[in-house]
Structure 1
Amino acid sequence: MNTLLRHRIEVRGIVQGVGFRPFVYQTAARFGLSGWVLNDSDGVVIEVEGEKTHLDTFASVLREEPPPLAAVAEVHIEEVAVKGGAGFDILQSQRHRHRATEISPDTFVCTDCLTELFDPADRRYRYPFINCTNCGPRYTLVTDVPYDRGYTTMAGFAMCPACQREYDDPSSRRFHAQPNACPDCGPQVLLRDASGQVVDTTDPVSEAVSLLSQGCILAVKGVGGYHLAVDPCHEQALRRLRRRKGRDEKPFALMVADVSTAQRLAVLDEESRRLLESTERPIVLLPQRPGHGLSPQVAPHNRYFGLMLPYTPLHYLLFQDFFSALVMTSANFSEEPIVFRDEDAQGTLRSLADYTLEHNRPIHIRTDDSIARILGGRGLLLRRSRGFVPRALRLIRQTEPVLAVGAELKNTLCLTRGQQAYLSQHIGDLQSPEVFRSFLQTYDHFRHILGVDPDIVAHDLHPDYQSTAFAQQLQDKMLVGVQHHHAHMASCLAENCFDGEAIGVVFDGAGYGEDGQVWGGEFLLGDCRDFRRAGHLAYLPMPGGDAATREPLRMGLSALFYAFGRELPSHPLVESLPQSEVEFYLQMMERRLNTPLTSSCGRLFDAVAALAGLRYRVSYEGQAALELEMALPENPGEEAYPFVFEKVGEELIVNPAKVFRAVADDSWQGVDTSRISLRFHNGLARLILDACRSLRDQYGLKAVALTGGVFQNRYLTEKARALLLEDGFRVLLHSLVPPNDGGISLGQAVVAARRTEAGRAGC
């Protein structure tokens, strides 16, 4: 006779909103077990009774064969008293004050739902909100935990009898699918014109497609906000869109109907195809294919397209009848957050779109599309948002709860809980009042759904950042200031679960240095607690401060001034400007009038781009550096400019004077910009190797973290990585955390946790 046992099982991780309770129900039935399952504020709780062998197999299936969207982080099992009884039930969810559950990210529409969407015999034929336990919106709908319909923006839609039967049926794919709906009981789509009037049509989607084919700009409400859609072959429509958005040259994202369309427009390899088709459905940067046939207005001065596949049923319906590709860019004015509320859309979108395709399912929290590229043979997130948030990153050790408020640009928040770090969706540049309001909304939402209100708050050292000011206004919190580039380095170390000391090569645009100067070309030594500056690019004058980031010509003149002094050589840049303007900048630099000093590698790229004649002024952040990367030849060689460094005290100082002279000379002699770009990139990669060798010889460190926005540059990163690996270094790169300022908050959180832990231990 077999002895019956009863186990209480607590499952933590992404186990709500992913069909986990139906999966538990069906697994229990499969092994003839009795008991119950419910959601609580920490995850899923199960009590299950049966023979030991069946209980062991049941637990193994929970860990190893969860539903497609689930991520099991922890399974805790304890034996409890046998209760007897038959059958297995799904009980009503429980809420308690402490919360540890994780919410699933929003996910793309699954194959089963797509099949039903285009099946004329199915009751959800062409229904734009079809979903099941394996797909659909999650994070942007959730208002509270546990994840039940009443705590989502679907609460206002009562299920019809047919939907309720599916929801209650353990054999159905929609068993306890919280956003479950159909045309009879769920959200509906409608079309409005620019005046806000509803367009009288029986098929708003088909009418929208017709309008797009006529060159209209269409605002489309998605999962995390509104997009602006336009025909990518319609030159005049694209120009109107750029004018209305205030987006002169920055590339637009493209949504394509399928992978075959993506292959027609861009060059895909196996890794990029896998990333494009992943459940997260990010925008993937891919090399343009010659003869693609799209307007140059889609991605001016760029050799890449940002492509994504459809991820909602509504997107698939737009592509069914006419288009194979559409520009699909965030609905906002430049530098403002994506529009997501219907009431805001009625105002903002009237000046952006000719028509609006909207629906009445509320979006609770805005979330942009994620952006990624292949680098070093794997995906690298450049913007971590829809599809990835709020999925946790696992830390190497348990920490006290910390809130990190991020940087000024590409802002994100980070909350830690136990061994989990939760990086928020991309928020944006906090200099915009609208973006700062979005920052506050995200802060409130994140704390609420995670049930964490930390006493420790980490922030940047820059005294004028909005995020720093916000942290300082919080009451009864322990504030920990973290240097910008140390946070970059710690972010890379934490993502790679690296717990020792390393060399940090931190190249970015700007960060407040401990000496009050603008850092950004740094060689650091340290770990996730402390660091020291071991070297940096020589300081260059930055005439006009922030104005120099918008006008690379100023950094070009700064480079010439640094290399030649006041007597500037004959050069196209100098000759393109009135002599009075050149003299004005020279006097600014000589007298240090509104001219901070910077070691920024981003400004180094700006200087070389200006000297090469690529870009004197920019219309978006990082444009000059991007176009210098785009100028690289298709078949690069090994020629390189000679970067040199010298030891000054305890630091390595990189002197770029020879490089500036060489670039100026090459440009004057008409050397092709592709060769100038190649020599610069190769020289910088070799500098990284030489500096790391020197630091290894002195300090014995063999691990190198490459981080900061400059390491979004694929060629430079892969070249430097290859050189370092060949020389015996261990190279740490980003993947799930952006190397740019979007990853800063993770580093801030980890540094603050370590320092607090050490302080309390008396270290």
Structure 2
Amino acid sequence: MIRRSRGYIPLPIDLEFEIPQVLACGGELKNTFCLTRGRYAFLSQHIGDLKNWESLRFYERSLEHFKRLFSIEPGIIAHDLHPEYLSTKYAVQLKHDMRYAICDMRLIGVQHHHAHIISCMVDNGVKGKVIGVAFDGTGYGTDGKIWGGEFLIADYRDFKRAGHLKYIPLPGGDKAIEEPYRMAISYLYQTLGKDFQKLKLDFNRKWNKNKVQILLKMIDKDINSPLTSSMGRLFDAVSSLIRICDISSYEAQAAIELQQEAEKVTGSRLQATGYKYKIREEKGIFIVDTRPIILGIVEDLKKKVAEPIIAAKFHNTVAEFTLDVCKRLKKKTGIDRVALSGGVFQNRLLLDKTLEKLRKNSFICYTHSRVPTNDGGISLGQAVIAAKKYQATGCKPHVACRKSLVVYDER
């Protein structure tokens, strides 16, 4: 499912358990909000990208309509951890609204990828712990970095980050999302150093040397180049590197066109073919080093291997290291249930390959069906996580309580 729009509204999600009345404010992109009452969660229609005053006003009007329609006055507000999201700022503003001062309204921050996984679990009626695989473009991490290629051990209340892609600089911040060639340069630089500029690749011939040098200086001096573990940005880098998409004119263009190239490859000759990668364990967390993948792609480009074949091999590799990390986590924890969520899994080719590998290795897999796998579904996860965290304090909604739940610094 891409959007849970008006045709599904206001059909509730049956949680199969009772929770307090919660407002979950959702994320920034593909925003939805979620209200809960009793054992039901009411997700809003697709609001869209919450980036300006007009969209925020529509958000507020829709929320007030839902509250009246279902007679819900939430005592708990859940929000994303990103402090600059409008949805987060709205939650903080609502907390300090004098109209709610008497209610002891509680503000609970929820990590983006944890919300993704719990959304998938609720969608499937799954309880207990799972291995959560959350692949997307952007999500604010608990370490202040940009997450997006995550392996979690998660339940409805808590999570542990158990694995992720190796951090790579994001030169230009959000600009790198619009211009995938920036991520290709970043990955080449992290893999081969400045020597990558000597490679006789079509990619290198396209770019002015001064432009490349500026990006390298940004990375070296850590100027607007936050670190990211994003799977979406890895897809962008590969797409640009093999001359598919350098500058995006719409969201996820580079990844979509990379998938389309891979789908041109038919037959079984490439089903088991992929690139090398490395996984190391660091402080109990499995780190997937994707630099060998970039090195393998460079070697194929030197050999003039066709783009569809490179794209297909790349998809195979992502599915393979996903299985690899899950097998290691299963051995470590005994958990054989895997929930797959995040916008990258809108890529049906990758999803099918990953499910096939996991199921062949005796994993029980869960994907979305009633709720979007992209950010349109995270408000559901936020609502359930916030409710479970709140219930763990032993408090009752709308009653003054001295117990504190420190999950977000409002300073």
Query: Same fold by TM-score, threshold 0.5 exceeded?
Result: yes
| Kept after mapping to 2: 8 A contact 1:396/1:419 | yes
Q: Distance in 1 between matches of 2:93 and 2:204?
A: 47
Residue 376 of structure 2: aligned partner:
742
Residue 95 of structure 1: aligned partner:
none
Residue 217 of structure 1: aligned partner:
none
The equivalent position to 2:266 in structure 1, one of 621, 625, 635, is: 635
Pair 1:486-2:114 in alignment? yes
**Greater CA drift, 659-668 or 697-706:** 659-668
Offset of 1:544 from its aligned partner? Answer: 0.3
Offset of 1:406 from its aligned partner? Answer: 0.1
The equivalent position to 2:364 in structure 1, one of 709, 720, 730, is: 730
| Kept after mapping to 1: 8 A contact 2:265/2:309 | no
Offset of 1:432 from its aligned partner? Answer: 2.8
Q: Distance in 2 between matches of 1:581 and 1:624?
A: 21
Q: Which runs of 5+ in 2 are unaligned?
A: 396-402, 406-411
Q: Distance in 1 between matches of 2:86 and 2:151?
A: 27
Q: Distance in 1 between matches of 2:150 and 2:277?
A: 15
- Could you list the per-position Cα deviations for residues 149-178 of structure 1 after superposition, in whole angstroms to 9, with x for gaps in the alignment? xxxxxxxxxxxxxxxxxxxxxxxxxxxxxx
Q: Which amino acid aligns with 1:486?
A: H
Q: Distance in 2 between matches of 1:725 and 1:567?
A: 41
Residue 499 of structure 1: aligned partner:
127
Q: Which amino acid aligns with 1:663?
A: I
Q: Distance in 2 between matches of 1:572 and 1:437?
A: 47
| Kept after mapping to 2: 8 A contact 1:535/1:651 | yes
| Kept after mapping to 2: 8 A contact 1:613/1:667 | no
| Kept after mapping to 2: 8 A contact 1:555/1:606 | yes
Q: Distance in 2 between matches of 1:462 and 1:714?
A: 29
- Could you list the per-position Cα deviations for residues 313-361 of structure 1 after superposition, in whole angstroms to 9, with x for gaps in the alignment? xxxxxxxxxxxxxxxxxxxxxxxxxxxxxxxxxxxxxxxxxxxxxxxxx
| Kept after mapping to 1: 8 A contact 2:277/2:289 | yes
Q: Which amino acid aligns with 2:154?
A: G
Residue 172 of structure 2: aligned partner:
544
Tell me the secondary structure at the aligned position of residue 195 of structure 2. Answer: coil
| Kept after mapping to 2: 8 A contact 1:611/1:667 | no
Pair 1:692-2:326 in alignment? yes
Matches within 5 A, 1:365-376: none
Pair 1:597-2:227 in alignment? yes
Runs (4+) of structure 1 moved beyond 4 Å? none
| Kept after mapping to 2: 8 A contact 1:396/1:494 | no
The equivalent position to 1:759 in structure 2, one of 393, 406, 410, is: 393
Q: Which amino acid aligns with 1:403?
A: L
The equivalent position to 1:617 in structure 2, one of 219, 223, 247, is: 247
- Could you list the per-position Cα deviations for residues 96-149 of structure 1 after superposition, in whole angstroms to 9, with x for gaps in the alignment? xxxxxxxxxxxxxxxxxxxxxxxxxxxxxxxxxxxxxxxxxxxxxxxxxxxxxx
Q: Distance in 1 between matches of 2:194 and 2:51?
A: 36
Residue 184 of structure 2: aligned partner:
556
Q: Which amino acid aligns with 1:563?
A: T
Residue 404 of structure 1: aligned partner:
24
Residue 460 of structure 1: aligned partner:
80
The equivalent position to 1:676 in structure 2, one of 310, 316, 322, is: 310
| Kept after mapping to 1: 8 A contact 2:265/2:308 | no
Residue 424 of structure 1: aligned partner:
44
- Could you list the per-position Cα deviations for residues 676-725 of structure 1 after superposition, in whole angstroms to 9, with x for gaps in the alignment? 11000000001111100000000110100000000111011111111111
Tell me the secondary structure at the aligned position of residue 115 of structure 2. Answer: helix
Q: Distance in 1 between matches of 2:369 and 2:265?
A: 25
Instruction: Tell me how large the CA RMSD over aligned residues is.
Output: 1.3
| Kept after mapping to 2: 8 A contact 1:572/1:668 | no
| Kept after mapping to 2: 8 A contact 1:404/1:748 | yes
| Kept after mapping to 1: 8 A contact 2:149/2:165 | yes
Q: Distance in 1 between matches of 2:244 and 2:57?
A: 37
Pair 1:709-2:343 in alignment? yes
Q: Which amino acid aligns with 1:590?
A: D
Q: Which runs of 5+ in 1 are unaligned?
A: 1-380
Q: Distance in 2 between matches of 1:718 and 1:621?
A: 22
Residue 2 of structure 2: aligned partner:
382
The equivalent position to 2:290 in structure 1, one of 656, 661, 676, is: 656
- The alignment's TM-score, normalised by the length of structure 1, stands at 0.50
Offset of 1:666 from its aligned partner? Answer: 1.7
Q: Which has the higher contact order (CA 8 A, sep 6+)?
A: 2
Offset of 1:640 from its aligned partner? Answer: 1.0
Q: Which amino acid aligns with 1:482?
A: V
- The alignment's TM-score, normalised by the length of structure 2, stands at 0.91
- Could you list the per-position Cα deviations for residues 412-452 of structure 1 after superposition, in whole angstroms to 9, with x for gaps in the alignment? 01001111111100000011322122111111111111110
- Could you list the per-position Cα deviations for residues 447-466 of structure 1 after superposition, in whole angstroms to 9, with x for gaps in the alignment? 11111010101000000000
